[in-house]
Structure 1
Amino acid sequence: MSQPVTPLTQPLDATVRPPGSKSITNRALLCAALAPGPSTLTGALFADDTRAMMGALSALGAEVAVSDGVVQVTGGALSAGTVDARQSGTTSRFILPAAALIAGRTVVDGTPQLRARPFGPVLDALRQAGAVVESSGFLPAAVTGPAAGGEVTVSGHISSQFLSGLLMAGPLMRDGLRVTLTSPLVSVPYVEMTKAVMAAFGVTVSDLSVEPGSYVPATYAIEPDASAASYFLGAAAVAGGRVTIDGLGTGSLQGDVAFADVLARMGASVIHAAGSITVESSGSLRGIDVDMADISDTAQTLAAVAVFADSPTRVRGIGFIRGKETDRVGAVVTELRRAGIDATEDDDGFTIRPGTPRPTRFAMYEDHRMAMSMALLGLRVPGIEIADPGCVAKTYPEYFADLAALGG
């Protein structure tokens, strides 16, 4: 089955509120499960990745209940168990440090795709903290605690999720946790997000250190997903017109709101307000040279937009996304080339030279972000289809319905 995309016949004039942030939802779920007592989460994302986290926490003894879109988590001391993280990198990389808090052996596993992703840095850090770890550096991994904590090192250039997971578990370790990075940190805004969510549940991170302590239950509102918003902001740039994202404003925790500023460099008009972001474009765009290391989840969105610019676009600083759900650098270049676009891989990113895509049924590589970004090409040119559209259920099950609604 494939999903055809219908080109728009007039400039956009739309307001969109994407579903809740996946990244914030999974952080809030874990902090709530580590807090003794009931917490309430509103605005949460309900998709494969967040249901994987809910299932993982339930498997470890937390109570997770959903009613009318509100998530109630009753947390406290977790117990050892077996966790299926499905395809969710955030779930697996956050649960492994949490498992190190438990006096028992916990096994974490996932799909074959997740098993191919690297886990060595976080597992090595857990060994340094005193946990017993059985793994070759990939899933499945068994972790036996409790870990005492103290001083640990972890690399920062592969994924910021390793650091975020360690920090969230740190306050419940006997000696707290002090983390030293052995390489430059990528996706820095995601670690700042982690600190903000932890603070909402009563834990303060000082630099990369957390003192022994405890979380407190909280009522927490989750903002819309900024990575998901990038597709609709990109739609305004590609098709022309105006799109406003409701619920994401100047106080957002998510670094990916900066994608709007990348579009501004390409010639779009951007308005940041307290509760919204608006992008307006004539559809006339210029190519840019941009480092997207801090907003790498929007790099594929920019690749689709760059096809319609008037000069090449060079994206830098994203070599690490080769280790995501798929090799996102190689996949973008391969698929755009199949559509007749001149695209090349670089060591740390890609270069897109503008052109007119020919009718293409794009392969998705089981990557939700490939599907959502490549679909933008179909808003401007006919004959674009997305193979395996169901892969968007990982983070945005209603994406294609919401994309179609842009046209009226």
Structure 2
Amino acid sequence: MSVPIVQRPIEGNIRVPGSKSLTNRAVLCAAMAHGRSVLTGVLDSEDTQVMVEAWKQLGLRIDWDRDRCELVLEGCGGQPPINQGSLFIANSGTSIRFLTAALAATEGKYLLDGVPRMRERPIGDLIRGLRAWGADVVSQNPSDPECPPVLLHAHGLRGGASTVRGDVSSQFLSGMLMAAPYCQEDVHLAVEGALVSKPYVDMTLAVMERFGVQVLRQLGPKEAEHVYQIASGQSYQGIHYAIEPDASAASYFWAAAAITGGCVRVEGLGLDALQGDVAFVKVLEKMGSKVVFGQESNGEAWIEVSGRASHGIDIDMSDISDTVQTLAAVALFAQGPTRVRGVAHNRHKETDRIGDLVQEIRRLGAEAQEHDDGLTIYPRELLGCEIQTYRGHRMAMSFALVAMKVPDCLVLDPRCTEKTYPRYFEDLGRMIGSPPKYL
């Protein structure tokens, strides 16, 4: 894909699609609930489609009005009508981890698998956590038993005490939390080690609470240890639930303003958003951009970023790791190095978001140093080249921002953005005044 060169500051307002993270959490809770749920603002993308299709395959009635971004779902009350199946999850980490935990709480036999890259993504810590609750769940991967496919001979979950690692992916914890109300006994779930992407766990708890389940959260005896208690006998209840715009998707447009010295307002997101990635604007502010939080007369929030991000930064991004690639694009146009820390878990995403990112930064003519927990970016004069995306949607969206400032840059495999933001290049084209061209 060729992105038009932008000579002027980018300015405008935009409403990005619904949050992928909230959509998949809401769909899972609605599917396991008693009664009907109506979800609005639903994201239509590959990751959300595989979650919805999995529940349809298990017999749930789901009506999806894609034009209105609305989904009506009749919950199964904790037991899907069809209690067996081979579920294809593509490369959706949230879907396979959340479904593995939820289906372990039911009765049935299920195989969950995906694309070849999915068979390289970790799930062993979740399997061990579920086994502590009595689950019969195993990896069917002969090359790496820490990764999918996953086979479940589900006969419900006992519950009780269990631990789960928090330093590889917060999705293990979120999956177990969402399954916990359907355990036979009270649940005491402790996080082992550091908890990465904690705002995503907070999001999980907020969605669970809206669907009627209470979780007691406390700090354990060790520093930064998190413990969660869920009483048995609870269940999700069908509700009307509005999904926020996706803050990770919004980050690209805020970054466009920071790179070009423009002014971009994202509608529908504010300081009280459930998504931790809204904190990305604070990173841009530390780099020199101006950030304004506001509200329309009807109460709808917005966040506006203006002015260039003029200088590099040294920052821990463990809580907002999905925006590391966005920051990398901004850092290439700042003065001085940018050091990103706390994101070792980014190696286990759709791509190696550290190693692959470093490779493409170097391909552009800049310098980048790879660290165990992140990377350092040293801006240089950038050269046109073909940018490999490694089927990584965030690689494609982030480097498109670089391509709009560097002549002769081509973003390869741009359609990988269908994973989370199918209309990204259409929206970017409207913002910059000229559509990118598929080659």
Identity rate of aligned residues, in percent? 47
Work out the CA distance in 2 between the residues paired with 1:119 and 1:280. 40
Map 1:248-263 to 2 at 5 A.
248-263=269-284
User: Paired residue for 1:329?
Assistant: 354
User: Paired residue for 2:35?
Assistant: 37
Q: CA RMSD in A?
A: 1.0
User: Paired residue for 1:272?
Assistant: 293
Work out the CA distance in 2 between the residues paired with 1:369 and 1:303. 11
Q: What is the SS of the residue equivalent to 1:175?
A: coil
TM-score by length of 2: 0.91
Asked if residue 360 in structure 1 is aligned to residue 385 in structure 2, the reply is: yes
User: Paired residue for 2:177?
Assistant: 167
User: Paired residue for 1:140?
Assistant: 149
Aligned to 1:206, which of 179, 199, 216?
216
Aligned to 2:195, which of 168, 185, 208?
185
User: Paired residue for 2:436?
Assistant: none
TM-score by length of 1: 0.97
Map 1:278-289 to 2 at 5 A.
278-281=304-307, 283=308, 285-289=310-314
User: Paired residue for 2:12?
Assistant: 14
Report the more deviating stretch, 341-350 or 155-164: 341-350
Consecutive unaligned residues in structure 2, runs of 5 or more: 140-144, 218-227, 296-300, 434-439
Opposite residue 100 of structure 1, the aligned amino acid is A
Query: Aligned in 2, Cα 1:284/1:142: closer, same or farther, shift over 3 Å?
Result: closer
Opposite residue 123 of structure 1, the aligned amino acid is I
User: Paired residue for 2:324?
Assistant: 299
How big is each residue's C-alpha offset from its partner over 1:348-399, in whole Å with a ceiling of 9 and x where there is no partner? 1000111221001100111100000111112222212110001000000011
Q: What is the SS of the residue equivalent to 1:4?
A: coil
Aligned to 2:412, which of 379, 382, 387?
387
Q: What is the SS of the residue equivalent to 1:328?
A: coil
How big is each residue's C-alpha offset from its partner over 1:165-191, in whole Å with a ceiling of 9 and x where there is no partner? 000010011113221111110000000
User: Paired residue for 2:368?
Assistant: 343
Work out the CA distance in 2 between the residues paired with 1:206 and 1:262. 31
Report the more deviating stretch, 158-167 or 105-114: 105-114
CA shift at 1:262, angstroms?
A: 0.0
Work out the CA distance in 2 between the residues paired with 1:174 and 1:61. 24
Q: What is the SS of the residue equivalent to 2:64?
A: strand
Q: Is the 8 A contact 1:227 1:256 kept in 2?
A: yes
Work out the CA distance in 2 between the residues paired with 1:33 and 1:86. 20
Work out the CA distance in 2 between the residues paired with 1:134 and 1:167. 20
Aligned residues: 405
Work out the CA distance in 2 between the residues paired with 1:385 and 1:239. 19
Report the more deviating stretch, 4-13 or 382-391: 4-13
Work out the CA distance in 2 between the residues paired with 1:262 and 1:402. 23
User: Paired residue for 1:399?
Assistant: 424
User: Paired residue for 1:238?
Assistant: 259
User: Paired residue for 1:223?
Assistant: 244
Q: Is the 8 A contact 1:308 1:356 kept in 2?
A: no
User: Paired residue for 2:163?
Assistant: 153
User: Paired residue for 1:114?
Assistant: 118
Work out the CA distance in 2 between the residues paired with 1:176 and 1:120. 23
Q: Is the 8 A contact 1:313 1:351 kept in 2?
A: yes
CA shift at 1:284, angstroms?
A: 5.4
Work out the CA distance in 1 between the residues paired with 2:28 and 2:133. 20
Work out the CA distance in 2 between the residues paired with 1:130 and 1:327. 33
Q: Is the 8 A contact 2:157 2:182 kept in 1?
A: no
Q: Is the 8 A contact 1:85 1:92 kept in 2?
A: yes
Q: Is the 8 A contact 2:15 2:267 kept in 1?
A: yes
How big is each residue's C-alpha offset from its partner over 1:307-333, in whole Å with a ceiling of 9 and x where there is no partner? 011110000001110111111101111
User: Paired residue for 1:87?
Assistant: 91
Consecutive unaligned residues in structure 1, runs of 5 or more: none
CA shift at 1:217, angstroms?
A: 0.4
User: Paired residue for 1:70?
Assistant: 70
How big is each residue's C-alpha offset from its partner over 1:191-241, in whole Å with a ceiling of 9 and x where there is no partner? 000000111100111111211111110000001000000000000011111
CA shift at 1:65, angstroms?
A: 1.2
Aligned to 2:344, which of 281, 301, 319?
319
How big is each residue's C-alpha offset from its partner over 1:92-144, in whole Å with a ceiling of 9 and x where there is no partner? 00000111111121111111111110100000111110111121222111112
